[in-house]
Structure 1
Amino acid sequence: MSTSFDSFQKRRLQSSYVSVVVSIALVLFMIGMLGLVLLKSTNVANHFKEKVVMTLFLKDDVSKKQLEGLQASIKKEEYTKHIIYITKNEAAKAYKKDLGEDFLQFLGDNPLKNGIDVYLNADFVTPEKMSEIEKAYQKNNLIAEVNYDKPLVNLLTKNIKRMSFWLLVLSGFFGLVAIILINSSIRLAIYSKRFNIKTMQMVGATKRFIRKPFIWQSIKLGILGAFISLIGLFIIIYYIDKYVPTLALLKDYLSLTYIAGGVLLSAFVITWISTFFATQRFLNLQTNDLYY
């Protein structure tokens, strides 16, 4: 009879462990997917920001030496990603292609100016920072005019802020759901051992001594759940990369490292905290309260 009961208890304990691992894996999979969306949305936003160009139109009397010095100074600036020098003849050819006719035949002389297209790093593509850069270049004696698409910069900044806000709200919500679900699974697993906890406490074991094996057991289950979730994540990432190769997910080693590290760290932190407070609750209960 005792052997049959022990076997039943063992099966119930194993079932509890399986449910905890599955719950943790599903929740961490959700967190990993959300992390992937956050990281790639930032990359996409930066990609569009770095397509914004600020054109510096040069005065006609700028010498070759002055031009080279100006280009060198622009490249040294922290906001510069790269620059392209466009002569007025190259600009005329581009206009001719866009218009579909040679406007120089009507005008005679080329009214365009030599220019430098400055592509900025994403962090500097905001209305405020680009306005500061524009004012600085307007004071330069070699530059006749500074031009960039201000409405586009304003719209881009506004939409990115809005997207970032809702992604943060969504992240906070799913993070809270993840903590609640994992916490509930671990508490249910520990609930089945509440009498063992109280028995150990009654024979003189300290709270720290009692908590330690439970915490380590939960961390092991959490790490196992994390690896299962990572397997699922990388399968999804593989197929996304296969059908949408422009995202280059498998080549983005930094993002993949962040996701894997974030999932493992989340598993460790959430299981440790959940187990600590779950065991603490049963340690503080009176013996009669264990039956409710």
Structure 2
Amino acid sequence: MASSFDKYQKRKLISSYVSVVISIALVLFLLGCLGLLVINSKKVADHFKEQVVMTIYLNDTAKEVEVNQLNKSLAMADYTKDAVYVSKEEAAEYMKAETGEDFMDFVGYNPLKNSIDVHLKADFVTTEQLSEITESLSNKTFIEEIRYDNDLVELMNDNVKKITFWVLIISGLFTLIAVLLINSSIRLAVYSKRFIIKTMQMVGATKRFIRRPFVWKSVQLGIVGALVAMAGMAVVLYYLDISFPELELLTNTVLIAALFAGIFLLGILITWISTFIATQRFLNLKTDHLYY
């Protein structure tokens, strides 16, 4: 009979530990994923900014040496990610592929211009920077026109600022929620042993002696939960890197390692503090109040 009761108690204890580990792991995993988003938010924003194209249209009278010199100077400029020369013939073939019709059959000639498509580095994709670049290039007589979608640039920069602000706000709130959820799980685990705590105290055990095994066990659970969360984060990061290789999510190894270390330490710190506070509460509680 006693053996059966011991097995029941052991299963109940293991079930309690598993539920605490799962709670810690889920909360830390979600917090870690949010951290990955925060770390890579600038990289994602920069990726979309660098899709903006500034097109430089050239006069038909432009000499080949002038075009080549401009293309080389653009390629070496601080603001350029890449610069690609597009001839009027290539532009016509592209339009034909896009529309499915050859517009030159109706027009009788190719009205398009030779051009250079410039993808700018993300830091230069602002209205002010684009205006300065356009002004510096406009003094070349063989350049007919410079075009870019200024409305798109302004909208993109405004949205990046808004998204960054809200991501930071949500990160702060989620961190607070994570702490509260883990704290609740730990308090429930300690609450189930409140009579054991009070019994040990009544037979003369010191508060420090009583607290130590509870704190150590919770820290162990926090470590296990953090390791599970880190494994989940690694899987998510791996598949995101495969799905979006252009974002190069794994290049910033220092920040990623710091995030993983932070999640690990957070799992230990929150469980340690929560267990300390919870055990202290029951140690200071009168015996009559244990039933409430």
Provide TM-score, normalisation by structure 2.
Answer: 0.68
One-letter amino acid of the counterpart of residue 79, structure 1: Y
Quote the residue 1:153 is aligned against: 153
Measured after TM superposition, the shift of residue 234 of structure 1 is: 6.2
Q: Mean alpha-carbon deviation: is it higher for 77-86 or for 212-221?
A: 212-221
Equivalent-residue separation in structure 2 for 1:196 and 1:66 (angstroms) = 91
Partners of 2:141 and 2:212 in 1: how far apart?
71
The 5 A counterparts of 1:220-235 are 220-232=220-232
- Does residue 275 in structure 1 map to residue 272 in structure 2? yes
Check whether the contact 2:183–2:274 (CA below 8 A) recurs between aligned residues.
no
1:266 matched to 2:263: yes
RMSD across aligned positions (CA): 4.7
Contact 1:190 1:279 in 2 (8 A): no
Q: SS in structure 1 opposite 2:54?
A: strand
Residue in structure 1 matched with residue 104 of structure 2 by the alignment = 102
**Tell me, what secondary structure is at the counterpart of 1:78?**
coil
Is residue 138 of structure 2 the alignment partner of residue 138 of structure 1? yes
Aligned to 1:73: 73
**Change in 2 beyond 3 A, CA 1:66/1:199:** farther
Structure 1 residues 26, 128: closer, same or farther in 2, change over 3 A?
same
Deviation of residue 26 (structure 1)? Answer: 2.0
Q: Give the whole-Å Cα distance in 2 for the aligned partners of 1:200 and 1:260.
A: 47
Question: What amino acid is aligned across from residue 146 of structure 1 in structure 2?
Answer: I
TM-fit CA distance, 1:224: 1.1
The one-letter code matched in structure 2 to 1:182 is I
Q: Distance in 1 between matches of 2:285 and 2:175?
A: 35
1:173 corresponds in structure 2 to 173
Q: Does 1:91 align with 2:85?
A: no
Aligned residues with identical type, % of pairs: 40
Whether the 8 Å CA contact 2:218–2:275 is kept in 1: the answer is no
Q: How far, CA to CA, are the matches of 1:96 and 1:277 in structure 2?
A: 67
SS at match of 2:104: coil
Q: Which runs of 5+ in 2 are unaligned?
A: none
How many residue pairs get aligned? The number is 282
266-275 or 57-66, larger mean C-alpha shift: 57-66
Q: 1:141 to 1:282 in 2, by over 3 A?
A: farther
Matches of 1:132 and 1:215, distance apart in 2: 61
Residues 71-93 of structure 1, C-alpha deviation per residue, up to 9 Å, x if partnerless? 33322333322110123443355
Q: Tell me how far 1:129 sits from its aligned partner.
A: 3.3
Select between 50-59 and 4-13 the one with higher mean Cα deviation. Answer: 4-13
Q: What is the TM-score normalised by the length of structure 1?
A: 0.68
